Amino acid sequence: MLPVLRRSATLAAVRGLTVALLSVGTAAHLGWVLEYFLDTGLSPLHSFPGELSADGQPHREVFRMAEWVAGAAFLLAVPPLLRVAPVHWQGRLTVAVVCVFGLLLLLHATFPPDCAPSVSQLCRDRDDVSASHRIHHATSVLLTMQYVVGPATLVLWWRGGWQAIPVLVLAVELLAWAAMVALGLLGSWRFVGLAARAQLAALTVLLCAGMAYLLTIGRDVRDRWEDVPR
């Protein structure tokens, strides 16, 4: 009995650490909300969130640091998450998505854009952008894809009422992604900020649901220790 209790207590501690790190990452990832309280000079309706960290933008360091903290927290959450996540491939795929997400956020914060295209025609027209600008653009595209892949992996293995959450989030992410693609094809980026921020808000809902899932489902650890003598 004592080994079982000891292992259960250890797993509970790992689960608590995982949720704590995911909480830090989620809170930091919400750093873009500060644009409503700071004078950024950018329109939340028509600008990409990544423009908040562009060179020359006020408070750029605040938004870069928030994104960097988020990426680091999600990466640090991966080892304990491997311990508490299901051992089937769908669960492992979800952990891999969290890992890639953390890496992309770090790259996104480390390589800011040269300028904010939503407020600068010169920025939109220039071709001689830096490597940092190109990397930022590439990671932005990959993050947009990640926002779709994340909930899709949870749809594969969450059951019951829990499954409805990633399904709804996936629907929002796909609609927002389709809207941004359509606006790009039309050559108009008006309201692209609304779609991009809808993606970020939907992801926050998913992350909060993920933490609730860990705290709720994780309380029952009997199946993990079926090999322990009773």
| Spatial separation of the C-alpha atoms in residues 37 and 25, rounded to whole Å | 21
Q: What number of CA atoms fall less than 13 Å from residue 186's CA on the CB side?
A: 11
Sign for the pseudo-dihedral over CA of 41, 29, 125, 187: negative
Q: pTM of the predicted model, to two decimals?
A: 0.89
Sign for the pseudo-dihedral over CA of 165, 169, 174, 175: positive
pLDDT at 27: 98
Contact between residue 136 and residue 108 where contact means Cβ atoms under 8 Å apart: yes
Tell me 222's DSSP state.
G
Q: Does the pLDDT value for residue 199 go beyond 70?
A: yes
Between 176-185, 211-220, 221-230, the lowest mean confidence (pLDDT) is in 221-230
Q: Does the pLDDT value for residue 210 go beyond 80?
A: yes
Q: Following CA atoms 40, 41, 43, 48 in sequence, which dihedral angle do they give, to the nearest 10 degrees?
A: -60
